[in-house]
Structure 1
Amino acid sequence: MTKNIVKLAALPSVFGLVALSMSVKDAEKPSQNSTEGLELFYTVPQLDDTDTAELDNSLNVNLATTGKSFTGFKEALGFKESQNDYKRINQFGYLGKYQFGRSTLLLLGITDTDAFLNDPVLQEKAFIANASRNKWVLRKDIKRFSGKVINGVKVTESGILAAAHLAGPGSVKSYLRSGGVEGFKDAFGTSIRSYMKKFGGYDVSFIVPDRSAKVKLD
C-alpha cells in the first residue's frame, strides 16, 4: 500500500502551475488502445494557444534558472493552465492551480474540495499522483514513440505527459498510434499537438509510473 502513496518529500517544488482535470470515457477506441478498465481523466486549459514567449514574461518564477528540469516543466505547464492561481475555479467547475475535476480528486483520494482549494501543498501532491498514473498508462507508448516526429513535432516523454494532462492518456494513445490522425481539442480549442510541441524536452524522470498512485493526506 505504501508504494501507492505519493510523498511530498521528493517533490522538487511546492509551487507549480495548473491544469484542468475532467473525466473522459475512452469511447469507440481500437482494442489495441485498451487501458484495461482504468478510468481516464483529462484536463481543460484555461488559456488558448497564446505564444509561449508572451506567457513566459509573466511567470512568477525565473524559467531561466529552472530550465528543462521537472520544476521547469511543472511551472510552464501550470502557468499555461491557470496563471498560478491555486484558488481558481473555472467555468466548468474545475479546481485549483492544476484545475482538477472532482472525479479525478476522488480517484486520488481527495474528498474535501474546499480544503483542496486552500492547500497548495495538497494540490502539488495531486499533480504528481495524477502524472504518475498517466505515465503508467502510457509507459509503452513513451518507449515506442519518443524521438519520432508526428505532425511536424518531435515526440518526447514530457510532451506526452503534458498532452495526457490536457486530453487524458487514452486520447494520447489514439493520437500516437494513429500517427496523429486521431486528434483532440478541448473546450478551449487546445490540441494534443500544441501541448506536445510546447512542453517537449523537459526532464520528467522524477515521475514514477504508478497505476494506483494516491495522495497521502496528513
Structure 2
Amino acid sequence: MRKWIRVFCPLIMIFILASYGFKIATKEVVVPEGLKVNEPTEVLFPKNRTNAKKVTVVTMPPFLGTSFVGFKEALAFKESQGDYFTTNTLGYLGKYQFGIGTLQLMGVYNATRFLNDPALQEEVFQTNIARNKWILRKDIPKFVGKRINGVEVTESGILAAAHLSGAGNVKKYLRTYGRFDVSDAYGTNIRKYIRKFSGFDVSFIEAQKNPKL
C-alpha cells in the first residue's frame, strides 16, 4: 500500500499544479473601468515639478577642421550662428553680417534679395575675402608668423579681422604693431579676431582687385 502511495502522490501533485497553471495562463484579465484611460491626460513633468532644474542648451559650431570651409563656417557662427536670414540690431545682414556699404562694393544693391538668397551670400563672402586679400597683399607676407599683443599673426586671422573691421583698419593695426585697434559695437576688437581665427587654410582664395559679382 505504501508503495502505491509513493508512486501516485507525485503524479497527483503534478496533475494539480499543471491544471492550475493552465487556468492561470488562459484566464482573461479584465481592467476595471476606473483605471482605463479614454482621453488625453495632462503631462505634469517637468512643468509642475518644483525641484526641476533649468536646462541650458549650448549650441556649438560645426567642426570642419582648418580648411577654408571650416574657416568660413566658424566665422559665420561667430557672426550669426550660421543664420542666413537674420538681421542684427545695427542692420547687418545674413549669415556673415554684411553692411549695405560693403554689399554695394561687391555689386549687390538689393538687400532683400541678398537676405533671401543663401547662394548669393556665399558668393559675396568669398568675393569680399578676395578683395580684402588684395588690399592686404603686402602686409600678409610681412606680418604672418610675428606676434602682436601676444598673439601670433596668421593669414586667416588677418582676413577674419578684415571682415570684422575692414581691411584698412587691419592694415593700421599691423603697421602700428597693435597700438591702433578698433572694436565693433559689441566690443569685439581686431586682436580678438586675429587670435580666434588663426591657423585656417585660406590659400584657396586668390587676391583680386575690386572684384564684382
Same structural fold, with TM-score higher than 0.5 when normalized by the shorter chain: yes
Give the Cα separation in 2 of the matches to 1:171 and 1:93: 21
After TM superposition, the structure 1 stretch with the greater mean CA deviation from structure 2, 137-146 or 87-96, is 87-96
Deviation of the 1:185 alpha carbon = 0.9
- Identical residues among aligned pairs (%): 59
Normalized per residue, the structure richer in helix is 2
Q: Which runs of 4+ in 1 moved over 3 A?
A: none
Task: State the shift of 1:198 in Å.
Answer: 0.3
Distance 1:156 1:134 in 2: 14
Residues 139-186 of structure 1 show CA distances to partners (whole Å, capped at 9, x for unaligned) of: 100010000000010000000000000111111111111111111111
Give the corresponding residue for 1:207: 205
Q: Which has more strand, going by share of residues? A: 1
Q: Which has the higher contact order (CA 8 A, sep 6+)?
A: 1
Between Structure 1 and Structure 2, how many residues are aligned? 156
**Corresponding residue number in structure 1 for 2:189:** 191
Tell me how far apart the structure 2 counterparts of residues 126 and 110 of structure 1 sit (CA, whole Å). Answer: 8
User: What letter matches 1:147 in structure 2?
Assistant: G
- CA RMSD, Structure 1 to Structure 2 (Å): 1.1
The match for 1:111 among 105, 109, 112 is 109
Mapped to 1, the partners of 2:110 and 2:165 lie a distance apart of 25
Aligned match of 2:121: 123
Counterpart mapping for 1:113-192 below 5 A: 113-192=111-190
Alpha-carbon shift at residue 57 of structure 1 (Å) = 4.8
Structure 2 unaligned blocks of 5 or more: 1-57
What letter matches 1:142 in structure 2? I
What per-residue deviation string (whole Å, max 9, x for no partner) do you get for residues 92-120 of structure 1? 11111111111211111111111111110
Matched letter for residue 58 of structure 1: M
| More divergent stretch after superposition (116-125 vs 104-113) | 104-113
Name 1:58's counterpart in structure 2. Answer: 60
Q: Distance in 1 between matches of 2:128 and 2:145?
A: 24
- 1:128–1:175 Cα change, 3 Å: same
Question: Based on CA coordinates, which of the two structures has the bigger radius of gyration?
Answer: 2
Secondary structure of the residue aligned to 2:170 is helix
Q: What is the SS of the residue equivalent to 1:139?
A: coil
How far apart, in 1, do the equivalents of 2:111 and 2:170 lie? 28
User: Alpha-carbon deviations, 1:61-118, whole Å to 9, x = none?
Assistant: 3x1xx20100110011110000111111111111111111112111111111111111
Match of residue 88 from structure 1: 86
How far 1:58 moved relative to its partner? 2.1
